[in-house]
Amino acid sequence: MIDVEDLVERVRTYNPHSNSDLIREAYAFGKEAHEGQFRTSGEPYFSHPVEVAMLLTEVRLDDATIITALLHDTIEDTGVSYRIVADKFGEEIAQLVDGVTKLTNLELSSVETKQAENFRKLLLAMSKDVRVLLVKLADRLHNMRTIKSLPIEKQKRKAHETMEIYAPLAGRMGMQYIRDELEDLCFAVLNPEARNSIMRRFLTLRAETGDLVPVIIEDIKQALAKCGVEARVTGREKRPYSIWRKMEEKQQGFHRLSDIYGFRIITQNERDAYVALGAVHQRWKAIPGRFKDYISQPKSNGYRSIHTTVSGRDAKRVEIQIRTGPMHVVAESGVAAHWSYRDGAPAENPFAVDPFHWLHDLTERFEAAENPSDFLEHVKLEMFQDQVFCFTPRGEVVNLPRGATPMDFAYAIHTRIGDSCVGAKVDGKRVPLWTRLRNGQSVEIIRAEGQRPQPSWEEMVVTGRAKSAIRRSLREEHRAGNVRLGREIARVALEKIGKKATDKALDTAAKSLSLPSREELLARLGTTEITGNDLVMALYPELVSDNGGVDETPEAHVIGLEPGQSHIIAPCCQPLPGERIVGISVRGQGVMVHAIDCDSLAEYENQPERWIDLRWTEGMSRASHLTTVEIIMANDAGVLGRICTLIGEHNANISDMTFTDRKPDFYRVKMDLQVRDITHLHRIQTALEADSDIASISRSRSAIAPK
């Protein structure tokens, strides 16, 4: 285990004014608190907090963060309380330790909804002090480095959690070296065969060509010397997971990947960075489309660097990053640079992003989410993606995730601009709204005050902010109409059983269905999230038949049954008066009445003893019978209303409605209708087919029947 004096000396190398005595006291306190506890590997447990503290010295963090690392498991795993930590080390450290404890207790790898809700809590814990997350990332890094002592299933669970949450979060915070190592450690757990294969290929490549890294470094130094640029040059082979990801993205084998080497040029100043870029491009041929200037257009986490890929020695592609020393500190430590020490004092790095501004920007993007699932979607869509940078006509920069469209651009500026968007110009040319934007493009949004979001817009956008705004607008716009339609569905559903859809009945149903209000119940009825049968079941479950619908089929409708013999209308074909029918005897249920053309009758062809000749009585046209139709209709305003009105004009009722497919241009909807007979249904079908916005209407039947 690392000795306390080694830790103290490490801190004093970058912060000579460190409170060494307080660090020693925290070390002794933590060691005593964890006395008798051991890790799964058999090591003393306190060796873990010490290693976490040492990891944080690599980014030169302040005393409070180092002490928090030493104590980060005391409140969770020992008898130490928050108050004891606060009394001995102060409120600041106690709050940090408590924040890390809260993060540790979140089971981020559980089911999606819980994962989303816990991630929201994670951001809340971070909002008080981002150093909480810095300690947690170092804690997770050390745990992943020593994960082999855990059972394999627990290894996989932790690796999935790390890959999905902590590694991308480290990248979003600019701590790329932590992200890279976490991803590679997870890769070794989740796909060891693939990682080992890549490592073997690296060894083969070295055997064939030798170690190219020092050779290419010398080539770069010579090119810089000719231009009079003093710089530090480093290089490495890319990590196996990075290689694997490129292979998956490009669908290429290892032997076809050329940019497996990465090099950095750290210059004295920004001017030298651009001179170095010129020297590199003069010496080697630049690869088109592989140049990015994050110095003139920094990432939101403060990252600044020039990226270029060139065709280097032996035509090997080489990725080169060029930046200044202060830029390199931010590139390595991200928002941690805000607390870093240099030359014995807190570093005044002009490129370090204020972590509190960064966190506010992050949470603002997600606050519009109305439920945990939306929230998690926003996280995955926005937080963990590479960015593109586009310009407004005034030259202002808008940061968007890769794959964003002009619609995303419009909503990124303001919801009002997105809602009224009717078109876009990219670099002065009119383009479709689903066009994918690229770095450096100028985007102009064309607006119309009367425009409102359309359902098809949601498929055009990728940002959570845009998706949430579109959904919210559509809900508000359609809510009044949904409530009206829901009230009609409620009226019909309750009238079928001789009841009325009074406000009191609807209030009772809303309470029974755990909904906040009568209006919410009606809105969900109107959107078919709740069906008419759900409403009846909530109020009068005893009046609902076994097959899930209201039983309105009196026995006297069918002729040919034995005295006392019961019958059931088959739900698979829903035969109507006027159609030829046949009965199938069903043990324990009586006779199942089918239409003569029902597909399920094929199952009984070899059982003639079960067939019964039946027919409908005449003069029963006033009775109501259930049938289901499937309608494909245009997704335009007013079409659904016209359908409902037309059905009502033909003296038929809609008892239930379900949207089975929603596309930008057409909807597919199933409607349960109450009609008198087959002639009545045919008249309704004919009238609906005459509407130009209805593509088709047909009976909806299944081939499932009771045995």
Per DSSP, the three-state class of 94 is helix
Active site residue 76: yes
Per DSSP, the three-state class of 63 is helix
The span from the CA of 285 to the CA of 310, in Å, is 5
Phi and psi of 644, rounded to 5°? -65, -40
Task: Decide if 368 contacts 469 (C-beta within 8 A).
Answer: yes
Residues whose CB falls within 8 Å of the CB of residue 35, separated by 6 or more in sequence, listed in order: 46
Checking phi first, is residue 473 left (phi over 0); if not, alpha (psi -120 to 50) or beta? alpha
The span from the CA of 32 to the CA of 496, in Å, is 74
Task: Decide if 328 contacts 266 (C-beta within 8 A).
Answer: yes
How far apart, in Å, do the first and last CA atoms of the chain sit? Answer: 71
Per DSSP, the three-state class of 388 is strand
Q: Which of 25, 43, 58, 77 is catalytic?
A: 77
The span from the CA of 676 to the CA of 652, in Å, is 8
**Of residues 232, 226, 225, 256, the one with CA closest to residue 243:** 256
Write out the DSSP string of 470-485. Answer: HHHHHHHHHHHHHHHH
Task: Decide if 377 contacts 467 (C-beta within 8 A).
Answer: yes
Q: Which of 43, 76, 520, 691 is catalytic?
A: 76
The span from the CA of 301 to the CA of 676, in Å, is 67
Per DSSP, the three-state class of 651 is coil
429-431/666-675 β-pairing = unpaired
Alpha-carbon distances of 556 from 99, 553, 573, 617, rounded to whole Å: 72, 8, 20, 8
Edge-to-edge strands, sheet with 581-586: 558-559, 611-616, 581-586, 590-595, 567-569
Per DSSP, the three-state class of 656 is strand
The span from the CA of 98 to the CA of 500, in Å, is 56
Per DSSP, the three-state class of 629 is strand
Tokens of 612: 């019964």
The span from the CA of 300 to the CA of 122, in Å, is 20
Active site residue 211: no
The span from the CA of 257 to the CA of 241, in Å, is 14
| 3-state DSSP helix/strand/coil % of the chain, to nearest 5 | 50, 20, 30
Per DSSP, the three-state class of 54 is helix
Residues whose CB falls within 8 Å of the CB of residue 574, separated by 6 or more in sequence, listed in order: 595, 625, 626, 627, 628, 699, 701
Q: What HEC string does 107-165 produce?
A: CCCCCHHHHHHHHHHHHHHHHHCCHHHHHHHHHHHHHHHCHHHCCHHHHHHHHHHHHHH
The span from the CA of 3 to the CA of 7, in Å, is 7
Kindly list the catalytic residues: 76-77
